[in-house]
Amino acid sequence: MNTTPRPYREDFPHRVQIVEVGTRDGFQAVEGWIPTDTKAQILKALIAAGLRHFEATSFVSPRAVPQLRDGAGLLAELGVPEGVTLSALVPNLRGAEAAIAAGAGGLVVFVSASESHNLKNLNRSRGESLAALQAISDRAAEARMPVQGAIATAFGCPFEGDVPVAAVLKIAQAYHAIGIRRVTLGDTTGMATPSLVRQRVQALNAELPDMEVALHFHNTRGLGLANVMAGLDAGVWIYESSVGGLGGCPFAPGATGNICTEDLVYLLHECGIETGVDLDALCAVARQVEQVIGRPLPGQVMKAGQRLQTAPMESVRTACG
pLDDT digits (tens, 9 = 90+) for 125-138: 999 999 999 999 99
Listed by start position, the domains of the chain span: 17-315
pLDDT greater than 50 at residue 117: yes
pLDDT score recorded for residue 313: 85
The answer to whether 258 and 218 are in contact (CB under 8 A) is: yes
Q: What is the mean pLDDT of residues 20-32?
A: 93
Arithmetic mean of pLDDT over the chain? 93
* Per-residue model confidence (pLDDT) at position 178: 95
234 pLDDT more than 60: yes
Q: What is the model's pTM?
A: 0.94
182-186 and 147-152: which strand pairing? parallel
Q: Is a pLDDT exceeding 50 seen at residue 2? A: no
pLDDT for 36 beyond 50: yes
- Note whether 187 and 225 are within 8 A (CB): no
189-198, 199-208, 306-315: which range is least confident on average?
306-315
88-115 mean pLDDT: 96
Task: Give residue 305's Cα distance to chain centre.
Answer: 23
* Residue from 153, 172, 175 nearest 162 by CA: 153
For 214-240, what is the mean pLDDT?
Answer: 97
Catalytic residues: 249
Which residues fall within 8 angstroms of residue 91, CB to CB, at 6 or more apart?
58, 59, 60, 61, 109, 110, 122
Q: For 250-264, write each residue's pLDDT tens digit.
A: 555 555 689 999 999
pLDDT of residue 43: 97
Give the Cα separation of 12 and 271 in Å (integer). 9
- Beta-carbon contacts of residue 149 (< 8 Å; ≥ 6 apart): 108, 109, 110, 111, 171, 172, 175, 180, 182, 183, 184
Task: Give the Cα-Cα-Cα angle 210, 51, 308 (nearest 5 degrees).
Answer: 110
pLDDT of 7 over the 80 cut: no
Say what the pLDDT of residue 317 is.
87
The candidate with the shortest Cα–Cα distance to 103, out of 82, 81, 72, is 72
Beta carbons of 99 and 88 less than 8 angstroms apart:
yes
What confidence score (pLDDT) does residue 1 get? 38
Give the HSE-up count for residue 95: Cα atoms under 13 Å, Cβ half-sphere. Answer: 27
Cα–Cα distance between 108 and 149 in angstroms, integer? 6
Closest by CA to 171, choosing from 115, 123, 218, 224, is 115
Note the pLDDT tens digit of each residue in 275-315: 999 999 999 999 999 999 999 999 999 999 999 888 888 88
* pLDDT given at position 257: 82
Predicted pLDDT of residue 3: 57
Cα–Cα distance for residue pair 151/13, rounded to 1 Å: 23
Superfamily of domain 17-315: Aldolase class I (3.20.20.70)
* Among 203, 144, 210, CA closest to 177: 210
